[in-house]
């Protein structure tokens, strides 16, 4: 049997061709890398309209307003919210603006050592609640729309359960709510991590350390393949600019407050309290059945950080009768930067919100006012407000009855209000300010 032979001249020809291509690529890459590159992140115009401690609120104004209810974007504490406005042509924020939506986005800033003891309760029932109240008052609306991303999505679910009267519609994207899964190495690691030791050792959980952990979840793809791909495309200016933008975002990693990190790992990853409605914030249970507003739940089929198994149970446990699950064939970040997903994701969210923009009957009656001290309907203060309105409409009998009831409870109401005010002053700081 004769052995197959490869002509030497054919091998030499291929080597020569590859050498010429490599030489041409290097020459062009030199021109690209030495030329000015447009690698700025978050180029969509915005203004800061509210700030409190390290937290600031960005406002993006659409050229033509088509939605009457604004949308608040709540990103995770890990990495930066600039992912939603990463690059021109692939900006979730810009797509929402093109759809005519007033967009607000929380910038969590960079925690320092003084933020070590900030808990999930502080983020949900203080920072987020203050921001929601600010937006409601700014637009004179009883409810607003919220879209949460990843850890920020979990915070959004918690907030919507505790303050359902302030949320019109809720959108969750790549949001972990069921942590009882072994799909994904991150869940396995977190179940066996010593969160309190890490938090106590570092003060705040270092962003760089978490970044290293995320890269080690898939080192072949996230470390090796990525840079091989860069060298193969470094003569393509658009590719290089997008690559640098992504690298800037990946390595811009704020620390996470120690108390928040410890609570999220122990209560969520290790005890799985959220999906069981056993999580407690500020002495109140986060009951998923209280989440009664429309819910759109979007996640990625190939997400290695928050796999579908961690997301898909949410709609089955909430009290809302208007829920929808969408699983996109992409990964954790691809939902926001993939050109294919961009054509589906943000337009779908905008259309879904538009369909549910009609005001329900409970909207006005559920509004609790501009500050946390304003009483909800049914309290003594609420009865006094009702009394005033009844007096204006001439309902004398109703006024007289309410006056009698109010007179009997005046002393008790004042005493209770004073006690609550004293407790609130002890527990919380002064709310943020307009910018």
**In this predicted model, what pLDDT tens digit does every residue of 318-369 receive, in sequence order?**
999 999 999 999 999 889 888 788 788 999 999 999 999 985 644 443 444 3
* Mean pLDDT confidence for 56-79: 96
C-alpha to C-alpha distance for 262 and 275, rounded to whole angstroms:
18
Q: What is the rounded average pLDDT of the residues 156-180? A: 97
151 close to 311: Cβ distance less than 8 angstroms: no
What's the Rg (C-alpha) of the chain? Answer: 26
Task: Decide if 162 contacts 290 (C-beta within 8 A).
Answer: yes
- Report d(CA 409, CA 290) in Å as an integer: 30
- At 104, which helix (H) or strand (E)? strand 103-107
Please name every residue paired with 8 in a beta bridge, in sequence order, or none if there are none.
Answer: none
Q: Is 23 helix (H, G, I), strand (E, B) or coil?
A: helix
Low-confidence winner among 41-45, 188-192, 277-281, 317-321 (lowest mean pLDDT): 188-192
Task: Give the whole-angstrom CA distance, residue 44 versus residue 345.
Answer: 19
Question: In this structure, what is the dihedral angle of CA atoms 115, 117, 121, 127, given to the nearest 10 degrees?
Answer: -20
Distance CA 56, CA 54 (A): 7
Each residue of 245-273: pLDDT tens digit? Answer: 999 999 999 999 999 999 999 999 999 99
Q: Residue 131: which pLDDT band, with cuts at 50, 70 and 90?
A: very high
Task: Please confirm, yes or no, whether 161 is among the known catalytic residues.
Answer: no
275 pLDDT more than 60: yes
Contact 332, 80 (CB under 8 A): no
Please state the rounded mean pLDDT for residues 75-97: 92
Mean pLDDT computed over 380-394 = 39
Q: Cβ–Cβ contacts within 10 Å for residue 396, how many?
A: 10
**Neighbour tally for 311: CB within 10 Å:** 25
**pLDDT at residue number 248:** 93
pLDDT at position 297 = 98
Residue range 216-243: average pLDDT?
Answer: 90
> What domains are defined for the chain?
47-184+272-358 (3.40.50.1820)
Is residue 370 very low, low, confident or very high in pLDDT (cuts 50, 70, 90)?
very low
């Amino acid at each position: 049997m004769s052995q197959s032979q490869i002509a030497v001249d054919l091998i030499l020809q291929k080597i020569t061709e590859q050498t010429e291509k490599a030489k041409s690529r290097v020459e062009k890459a030199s021109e690209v890398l030495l030329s000015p590159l447009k690698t700025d992140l978050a180029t969509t115009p915005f203004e800061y309209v509210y700030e409190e401690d390290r937290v600031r609120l960005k406002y993006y104004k659409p050229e033509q307003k088509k939605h009457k209810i604004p949308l608040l974007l709540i990103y995770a504490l890990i990495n930066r919210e600039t992912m939603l406005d990463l690059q021109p042509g692939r900006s979730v924020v810009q797509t929402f603006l093109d759809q005519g939506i007033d967009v607000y986005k929380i910038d969590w800033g960079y925690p320092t050592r003084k933020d070590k003891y900030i808990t999930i309760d502080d983020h949900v029932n203080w920072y987020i609640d203050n921001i929601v109240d600010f937006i409601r008052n700014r637009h004179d609306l009883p409810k607003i729309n919220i879209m949460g991303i990843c850890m920020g999505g979990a915070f959004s679910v918690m907030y919507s359960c505790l303050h359902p009267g302030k949320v019109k519609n809720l959108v969750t994207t790549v949001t972990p709510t069921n942590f009882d899964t072994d799909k994904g190495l991150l869940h396995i690691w977190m179940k066996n991590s010593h969160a309190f030791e890490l938090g106590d050792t570092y003060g705040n959980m270092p962003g760089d350390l978490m970044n290293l952990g995320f890269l080690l979840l898939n080192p072949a793809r996230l470390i090796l393949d990525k840079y091989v791909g860069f060298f193969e495309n470094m003569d393509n200016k658009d590719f290089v600019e997008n690559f640098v933008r992504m690298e800037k975002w990946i390595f811009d990693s704020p620390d996470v407050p120690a108390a928040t990190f410890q609570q999220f790992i122990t209560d969520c990853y290790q005890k799985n309290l959220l999906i069981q409605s056993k999580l407690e914030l500020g002495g109140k249970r986060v009951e998923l059945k209280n989440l009664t507003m429309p819910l759109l739940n979007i996640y990625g089929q190939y997400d290695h950080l928050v796999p579908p198994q961690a997301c898909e149970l949410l709609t089955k446990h909430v009290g809302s009768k208007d829920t929808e699950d969408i699983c996109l064939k992409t990964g954790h970040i691809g939902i926001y930067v993939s050109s294919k997903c961009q054509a589906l994701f943000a337009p779908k969210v905008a259309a879904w919100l538009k369909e549910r923009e009609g005001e329900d009957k409970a909207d006005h009656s559920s509004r609790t006012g501009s500050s946390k001290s304003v009483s909800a309907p049914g309290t003594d203060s609420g009865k006094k407000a009702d009394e005033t309105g009844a007096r204006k409409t001439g309902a004398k009998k109703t006024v007289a009855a309410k006056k009698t009831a109010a007179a009997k409870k005046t002393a008790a109401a004042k005493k209770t209000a004073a006690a609550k005010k004293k407790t609130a002053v002890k527990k919380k700081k002064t709310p943020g300010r307009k910018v």
